[in-house]
Chains A and B, each alone.
Chain A
Amino acid sequence: MKTSLSRRFVLGAIAALALIAGLNRPASAAESATDFVRHLGTQLVGIVNSDLSSSEKKQKVLPLLQSDVDVDAIGRFCLGRYWRMATPEQQATYLKLFHQILVNAITDKLGDYRGVSFTIGSTTPSGEDQAVDAILHRPQQADANMQWIVSTAGGSPKVVDVIGEGASLRLTQRQDYASYIQRTGGKVDTLLSALQRQLDKHRAAEGD
Chain B
Amino acid sequence: MGSVTDNQQIASLPGGLAQRSVPFHRRYRAAGRFGSLVLGALTLAGCASMVAPKPKDPDALAEYEEANDRFEPLNRKMYNLSVWADKYSLRPVAKAYVWAVPRPVRSSLGNMIRTMNEPVVFFNDVGAGKPRRAGDSFARWCINMVAGVGGFVDVAKYVGYPHHDNDGGLTLATWGIASGPYLFLPMMGPSSIRDGVGYGIDQGLSPWNYVPRGYGLITFNWAYNIMGTINTRADHLDDLDQVQRDALDPYATIRSAYQQQRKALADSIKNDHRATVPDWYN
* Chain A residues in the interface with B (C-beta under 8 A): 80-81, 105, 112, 140, 163, 165-168, 171-173, 175-180, 182-183, 191, 194-195, 198
Contact = CB atoms under 8 A, between A and B. Distances in A.
B257 A172 contact: yes
Nearest to B252: A179
B67 interface: yes
A3 to B, nearest CB: 50
Contacts of B268: 166
A175 B252 contact: yes
Residue from B60, B62, B249 having most chain A Cβ neighbours under 10 A: B249
Interface stretch (B77-85, B207-215, B216-224, B259-267): B259-267
B248 interface: yes
A66 to B, nearest CB: 22
A163, A175, A194, A195: most-surrounded residue (chain B CB, <10 A): A175
Candidate in A173, A179, A195 with the most chain B CB atoms within 10 angstroms? A179
B248 A166 contact: no
Contacts of A163: 264
A167 B248 contact: no
Contact of B260 (A171, A176, A182, A194): A171
B198 to A, nearest CB: 17
B107 interface: yes
18 contacts: A81-B63, A140-B103, A163-B264, A165-B264, A166-B263, A166-B268, A167-B260, A167-B261, A171-B260, A172-B253, A173-B253, A175-B66, A175-B253, A176-B248, A179-B248, A179-B251, A182-B63, A194-B248
B249 A180 contact: yes
A112 B262 CA distance: 26
A176 B249 contact: yes
Contacts of A195: 248
Contact of B255 (A140, A166, A173, A175): A175
Contact-size category for B: 20 to 34
B193 to A, nearest CB: 20
Nearest to A191: B248
A182 B61 CA distance: 12
B41 interface: no
Given A180-B248, A180-B249, A182-B60, A175 B256 contact: yes
Interface in B230-282: 238, 246-249, 251-253, 255-257, 260-265, 268
Contacts of A175: 66-67, 252-253, 255-256
Nearest to A175: B256
A185 to B, nearest CB: 13
Nearest to B261: A166
Contacts of A105: 246
A35 to B, nearest CB: 25
A-B complex: 6 closest residue pairs judged by Cβ atoms: A166-B264, A179-B252, A175-B256, A180-B248, A166-B261, A167-B260
A172 B248 contact: no
Contacts of B249: 176, 179-180, 183
Nearest to B55: A182
Contacts of B60: 182
A172 B256 contact: yes
Given A176-B256, A195-B248, 15 more contacts: A81-B63, A140-B103, A165-B264, A166-B262, A166-B265, A167-B256, A167-B260, A167-B261, A171-B260, A176-B247, A176-B252, A179-B67, A180-B248, A182-B60, A191-B248
